[in-house]
């Protein structure tokens, strides 16, 4: 019955396609077109809904209104200040987390002993939601910059560490053993073979965990802050300025996207060897 | 150089019980020799080489290089694996240089040796290429050059051409003989390709499986050209065919024995 048509198809072989190619590139033009659509269509839906829909302006401001709010925030100098404040917190927390997670992750991946020592505790702590640490951090560190940076540190440290540890497991054993037969010592294998091998994975881990940092900085600022995009959003909510909320959200998205782009660029420059 | 393997045994402990990978293996290699070890899959060839390289430890028995017991890996025993042999982030020249750098050899000397060995393996013009841009045969040449650059007493190779296509493999065999002649390095190579072993070596150890033991040792007497290396012509000689037949038969018999035992 239904099988008949299936059999027919099989005898003709796999039909050719452009759109549905698996694990292959699509033509450049099509790719750019689709990428443009990915932004343009949601944008127009938003505009349509805001202009002709029944939703009130207070709930769904239109793109021009948001642009106007953006202009306001810019003129008042808030936007630069807030963005800088949030950005520096993210960078601060992230740099501290990286400074710990790179050596720790590599050591855990390399030495079964270090892994046994840290994996259980890291495995447990990473399931404690970072946001749940906010009250504790405020009690310990007050409401200045310290608790916010600490929150980002806690929120990215463990995933970074585990991802880097996993990457070390993929260093081919042959490469390590070859190094020994070339006269390499253990510390040389650690610093001159394992470490360079996982650099691409470290950058990838950073790209993924950067998103977490941005989530957490907003959480921290919603609780207590003088400045920051999270703080701005909270203020806007008090006065029902949804257009400002939208503006801040778009800024957040764009900055995250830019950070991701620069990390990808770093990957292309530093890890040319790892690009297929 | 004198490598001596005496009464070497190796057992692996696994969940399914003990596996006797090698049992009472005896062999020796002298300066400048090219020796091959052939054996069916699972006959403990890789295990034997890893023990000699010092990458694993024997259950019993002894390995000595120039009377000195092997206690771990060292640069006197170079190694070439079948796969994943190059540092992917280093170009060809830096791969060859890597071992010298590890040993703290001064830069001028490093440069000299690198260019010499790049010339030996014929890759001077590819010195700036990354490994990902090389073919399988070229990668193995780099790996060989890198091992030779450390000037080891003996070069150990575990099926170095096992992943190559037939044509590349043949040219690599010729290439290896040429390198051997030019550098005078002592070579112990593992293969399961009998023809390859007969073509390359002066002596062959045939290993049989479960447990891995040396079944027989062959002295290969085939003519060499004026430069002291063999060329393809030897493959057509009846002596060559005879060696090949004999060793193949030996391996076949032992495989049958095994299957009967298991079955
Ligand atoms: N690390 C290990 N743990 C447990 N058993 C092992 C280990 N390494 C090797 N063996 C076992 O020892 C025996 C010999 O293995 P080995 O890899 O030395 O054989 P081989 O002759 O190199 O085979 P091949 O031709 O497939 O490479 C096999 O039965 C294998 O399963
Ligand atoms: Mg093997």
- Domain positions in chain A: 2-52, 63-274
The DSSP line for B212-237 is: BEEEEEEE------TTS---GGGGGS
Q: φ and ψ at A92, to 5 degrees?
A: -55, -55
First to last CA, chain A: 45
C-alpha A153/C-alpha A92 separation (Å) is 8
The answer to whether A191 contacts chain B (CB < 8 Å) is: no
Residue B10 has pLDDT above 90, yes or no: yes
Q: Are residues B45 and B60 in the same domain?
A: yes
Residue having the nearest C-alpha atom to atom 6 of ligand 1 = B12
Query: Which residues does chain A have within 8 Å of residue B77's beta carbon, measured at their own beta carbons?
Result: 181
**Closest chain B residue to A275, measured at CA:** B132
Tell if the CB–CB gap between B102 and A185 is shorter than 8 Å: yes
Residue having the nearest C-alpha atom to atom 2 of ligand 1 = B12
Query: Which residues does chain B have within 8 Å of residue A180's beta carbon, measured at their own beta carbons?
Result: 54-55, 72-74
Residue B82 inside a domain? The answer is no
pLDDT of residue B27: 95
Could you identify the residue written with the tokens 């270090």?
A: A114
Q: Which two tokens stand for residue B102?
A: 């590890």
Best residue among B17, B25, B46 to mutate for probing ligand 1, ranked by most atoms within 8 Å of CB: B46
pLDDT of residue B3: 96
At B162 the three-state DSSP class reads coil
Q: Are residues B257 and B178 in the same domain?
A: yes
ipTM field: 0.92
Tell me what the mean pLDDT of segment A246-261 comes to. Answer: 93
pLDDT of residue A54: 79
Residues with Cβ within 8 Å of residue A240, at least 6 apart in sequence? A58
Tell if the CB–CB gap between A174 and B81 is shorter than 8 Å: yes
Q: Which two tokens stand for residue A223?
A: 């609780």
pLDDT of residue B254: 78
Best residue among B14, B15, B18, B19 to mutate for probing ligand 1, ranked by most atoms within 8 Å of CB: B19
Residue B41 pLDDT class (50, 70, 90 cuts): confident
The answer to whether B150 contacts chain A (CB < 8 Å) is: yes
Instruction: Select from B260, B248, B202, B262 the least CA-distant residue to B40.
Output: B248
* Distance from Cα A88 to the centre of ligand 1, integer Å: 54
The answer to whether A63 contacts chain B (CB < 8 Å) is: no
Residue B183 has pLDDT above 70, yes or no: yes
pLDDT of residue B103: 95
**Which residues does a 6 A CB cutoff place in the pocket of ligand 1?**
B 12, 14, 19, 21, 39, 41-47, 192
* Distance from Cα B44 to the centre of ligand 1, integer Å: 5
pLDDT of residue A56: 81
Cis peptide preceding B211, ω within 30 of 0: yes
* Each residue's pLDDT tens digit, A133-179: 999 999 999 888 999 999 999 999 999 999 999 999 999 999 999 99
* Distance from Cα B39 to the centre of ligand 1, integer Å: 12
Percent above pLDDT 90 for chain B: 74
Give me the sign of the Cα torsion angle A251, A131, A87, A198. negative
Distance from CA of B215 to the nearest CA of A (A): 29
Atom of ligand 1 nearest to the CA of B56: 1
Give the ligand at the shortest distance from the Cα of B192.
Answer: 1
The CATH superfamily assigned to A63-274 is MetI-like (1.10.3720.10)
* Distance from Cα B46 to the centre of ligand 2, integer Å: 4
The mean pLDDT of chain B is 92
Q: Are residues B133 and B229 in the same domain?
A: no
Query: Of A174, A183, A196, which has the smallest distance from its Cβ to B102's Cβ?
Result: A183
Query: Which residues does chain B have within 8 Å of residue A178's beta carbon, measured at their own beta carbons?
Result: 79, 81, 85, 143
Q: Are residues B18 and B146 in the same domain?
A: no
* Each residue's pLDDT tens digit, A197-248: 999 999 999 999 999 899 999 998 888 788 999 999 999 999 999 999 999 9
Residue A6 has pLDDT above 70, yes or no: no
Q: Could you tell me the CATH number of the domain that includes residue B218?
A: 3.40.50.300
* Each residue's pLDDT tens digit, B209-261: 878 899 999 999 888 776 667 888 888 889 999 999 999 999 888 777 666 66
The answer to whether B73 contacts chain A (CB < 8 Å) is: yes
Please give the tally of structural domains in chain B: 2
Q: Are residues B59 and B6 in the same domain?
A: yes
Q: Which two tokens stand for residue A98?
A: 């990286």
What domain range is B109 assigned to?
Answer: 87-151
- Please identify among residues 155-214 of chain B the ones whose CB lies closer than 8 Å to any CB of chain A: 156
Q: Are residues B158 and B255 in the same domain?
A: yes
Q: Are residues B101 and B182 in the same domain?
A: no
Tell me what the mean pLDDT of segment B97-101 comes to. Answer: 97
Of B151, B173, B194, the one marking the end of a domain is B151
Tell me what the mean pLDDT of segment A256-271 comes to. Answer: 94
pLDDT of residue B235: 87
Residue B84 pLDDT class (50, 70, 90 cuts): confident
Residues with Cβ within 8 Å of residue B162, at least 6 apart in sequence? B82, B191, B192, B193
Query: Of A181, A199, A274, which has the smallest distance from its Cβ to B75's Cβ?
Result: A181
Q: Are residues B103 and B233 in the same domain?
A: no
The mean pLDDT of chain A is 91
Tell if the CB–CB gap between B53 and A181 is shorter than 8 Å: yes
Residue B81 inside a domain? The answer is no
Q: Are residues B253 and B168 in the same domain?
A: yes
* Distance from Cα B19 to the centre of ligand 1, integer Å: 9
Measured CA distances, A53 to A45, A64, B100 (Å): 10, 16, 73
Query: Which residues does chain A have within 8 Å of residue B155's beta carbon, measured at their own beta carbons?
Result: none
Q: Are residues B67 and B101 in the same domain?
A: no
pLDDT of residue A114: 97
Secondary structure of chain A in HEC code, one letter for each residue = CHHHHHHHHHHHCCCCCCCCCCCCCCCHHHHHHHHHHHHHHHHHHHHHHHHHCCCCCCCCCCHHHHHHHHHHHHHCCHHHHHHHHHHHHHHHHHHHHHHHHHHHHHHHHHCHHHHHHHHHHHHHHCCCCHHHHHHHHHHHHCCCHHHHHHHHHHHHHHHHHHHHHHHHCCCCHHHHHHHHHCCCCHHHHHHHHHHHHHHHHHHHHHHHHHHHHHHHHHHHHHHCCCCCHHHHHHHHHHCCCHHHHHHHHHHHHHHHHHHHHHHHHHHHHHCHHHCC
Q: Are residues B133 and B194 in the same domain?
A: no
Residue B164 inside a domain? The answer is yes
Q: Which of A1-10, B155-164, B207-216 holds the top average pLDDT?
A: B155-164
Q: Are residues B68 and B190 in the same domain?
A: yes
């Amino acid at each position: 019955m239904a099988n008949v048509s299936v059999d027919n198809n099989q005898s003709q072989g796999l039909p050719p396609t452009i759109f549905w190619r698996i694990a292959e590139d699509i033509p450049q033009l099509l790719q750019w077109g689709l990428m443009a659509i990915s932004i343009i269509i949601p944008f127009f839906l938003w505009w349509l809904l805001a202009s002709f829909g029944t939703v009130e302006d207070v709930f769904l401001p239109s793109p021009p209104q948001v642009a106007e709010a953006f202009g306001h925030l810019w003129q008042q100098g808030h936007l630069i200040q807030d963005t800088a404040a949030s950005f520096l917190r993210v960078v601060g927390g992230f740099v501290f987390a990286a400074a710990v997670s790179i050596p720790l992750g590599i050591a855990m991946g390399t030495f079964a002993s270090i892994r046994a020592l840290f994996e259980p505790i890291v495995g447990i702590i990473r399931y404690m939601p970072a946001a749940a640490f906010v009250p504790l951090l405020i009690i310990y560190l007050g409401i200045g910059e310290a608790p916010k940076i600490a929150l980002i540190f806690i929120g990215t440290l463990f995933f970074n560490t585990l991802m880097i540890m996993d990457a070390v497991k993929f260093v081919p054993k042959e490469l390590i053993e070859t190094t020994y037969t070339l006269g390499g010592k253990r510390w040389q294998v650690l610093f001159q073979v394992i470490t360079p091998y996982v650099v691409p994975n470290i950058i990838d881990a950073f790209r993924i965990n950067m998103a977490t940092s941005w989530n957490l900085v907003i959480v921290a600022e919603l609780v207590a802050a003088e400045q920051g995009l999270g703080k701005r959003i909270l203020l806007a909510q008090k006065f029902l300025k949804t257009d400002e909320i939208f503006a801040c959200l778009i800024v957040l998205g764009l900055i995250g996207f830019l950070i991701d782009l620069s990390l990808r660029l770093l990957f292309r420059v530093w890890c040319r060897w790892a690009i297929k | 150089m004198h490598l001596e393997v005496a009464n070497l045994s190796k057992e692996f402990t696994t969940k399914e019980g003990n596996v006797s990978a090698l049992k009472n293996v005896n062999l020796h290699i002298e300066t400048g020799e090219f020796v091959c070890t052939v054996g069916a899959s699972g006959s403990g060839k890789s295990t034997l080489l890893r023990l000699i390289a010092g990458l694993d430890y024997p259950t019993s028995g002894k390995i000595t290089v120039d009377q000195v017991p092997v206690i771990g890996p060292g640069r006197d025993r170079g190694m070439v694996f079948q796969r994943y042999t190059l540092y992917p982030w280093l170009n060809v020249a830096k791969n060859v240089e890597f071992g010298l750098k590890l040993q703290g050899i001064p830069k001028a000397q490093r440069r000299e040796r690198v260019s010499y060995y790049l010339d030996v393996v014929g890759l001077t013009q590819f010195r700036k290429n990354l490994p990902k841009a090389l073919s399988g045969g070229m990668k193995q040449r780099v790996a060989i050059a890198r091992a030779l650059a450390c000037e080891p007493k003996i070069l150990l190779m575990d099926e170095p051409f096992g992943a190559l296509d037939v044509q590349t493999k043949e040219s690599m065999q010729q290439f290896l003989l040429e390198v051997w002649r030019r550098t005078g390095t002592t070579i112990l190579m593992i293969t399961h390709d009998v023809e390859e072993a007969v073509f390359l070596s002066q002596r062959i150890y045939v290993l049989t499986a479960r447990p891995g033991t040396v079944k027989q040792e062959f002295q290969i007497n085939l003519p060499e050209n004026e430069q002291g290396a063999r060329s393809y012509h030897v493959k057509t000689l009846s002596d060559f065919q005879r060696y090949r037949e004999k060793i193949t038969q030996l391996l076949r018999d032992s495989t049958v024995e095994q299957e009967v035992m298991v079955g």
